[in-house]
Amino acid sequence: MSESNSGMVDVATLYIVPTPIGNLADITQRALDVLANVDLIAAEDTRHTSRLLSHFSISTRTFALHDHNEQQKADYLIEKLQAGTSIALVSDAGTPLISDPGYHLVNRCRHAGVKVVPLPGPCAVITALSGSGLPSDRFSFEGFLPPKSKGRRDCFQALADDARTLIFYESPHRINDSLSDMLAVLGPDRQVVLARELTKTYETIHGAPLGELIDWLAEDSNRVRGEMVILVAGHRAQKDELSVEVLRTLTLLAKELPLKKAAALTAEIHGAKKNALYKWGLENLE
């Protein structure tokens, strides 16, 4: 079994190492120690990572591991780990696996009994959420939005009644189209926060009702530049408001039963008000 470069890291271990999302001073001392002392660094982009390593005078050898080769290279890296090699996994920025490569490698390591040690550190999702002013007790990170309008609208429709704060990544060249699709589904009054260029010189965290946010972006083209995190306030049901799920149940039952019976059953299933369901049915189903 081979020896690691230093007692600071364990042999036969995969370290998950977060790297700065902008400000290099955000890297932790533990991350630097691991990167300097493992035998190998598996990097999403070795050229990008080499600049980070050079800044901190770290000379550890790198190996390319990205979306296009991860499944093929995972077995090779596991063989090295099982032979005693210590490896650090990094992405271009932030915490690996969070909309970045690494899942297949970590999953296979777990199944193979290889030790995996995750380090805490920078993550755009958590950084944006903590400064957004939106509820943070319950949230859902949805990753990058679909590239096509229909996919985005389907996504927003599926999440329209979700009470959690919703978090998405988006690229600058699609931000306007994505917010337009969101407007079509969620309406102009939903509170949305746009966090861009986090930890960098032009960091901006701006929140407003969606309609106003779109107008604010249109005022200055610089506001749509840089890495984007979109945070959407969860759905807050108004008094007597009937959810999409409740109305779907009522609609299906009303096809087979008298409306009054369908409303009563729907009310029992969902804990909704029977009179409100019956009234909605009269206005929309008959």
Instruction: Find the domain containing 46 and state its range.
Output: 13-122
253 inside domain: yes
Q: Give which of 81, 86, 79, 100 is closest to 34, Cα–Cα.
A: 86
Q: Would you tell me how many other CB atoms lie within 10 Å of the CB of residue 276? A: 15
Q: In what order do the strands lie in the sheet with 40-43?
A: 62-64, 40-43, 87-90, 13-16, 115-118
10 Å CB burial of residue 201 (0-12, 13-18, 19+) is exposed
Give the residue from 77, 95, 122 where a domain finishes.
122
Provide the residue-wise pLDDT of the chain in tens; the chain has 286 residues.
Answer: 344 555 689 999 999 999 999 999 999 999 999 999 999 999 999 999 999 999 999 999 999 999 999 999 999 999 999 999 999 999 999 999 999 999 999 999 999 999 999 999 999 999 999 999 999 999 999 999 999 999 999 999 999 989 999 999 999 999 999 999 999 999 999 999 999 999 999 999 999 999 999 999 999 999 999 999 999 999 986 656 788 888 999 999 999 999 999 999 999 998 888 998 999 999 888 6
10 Å CB burial of residue 21 (0-12, 13-18, 19+) is buried
151 inside domain: yes
195 inside domain: yes
239 inside domain: no
Q: Is there a single domain that holds both residue 137 and residue 216? A: yes
**What's the structural domain count of the chain?**
3
Spell out where the chain has E strands.
Answer: 13-16, 40-43, 62-64, 87-90, 115-118, 139-144, 165-170, 191-196, 204-209, 228-232
Contacts of 85 (CB under 8 A, 6+ apart): 2, 11, 12, 39, 40
Q: Is there a single domain that holds both residue 98 and residue 185? A: no
Q: Is there a single domain that holds both residue 91 and residue 115? A: yes
In sequence order, what are the beta bridge partners of 13?
115
Q: pTM value?
A: 0.82
8 Å CB contact between 262 and 253: yes
pLDDT for position 5: 54
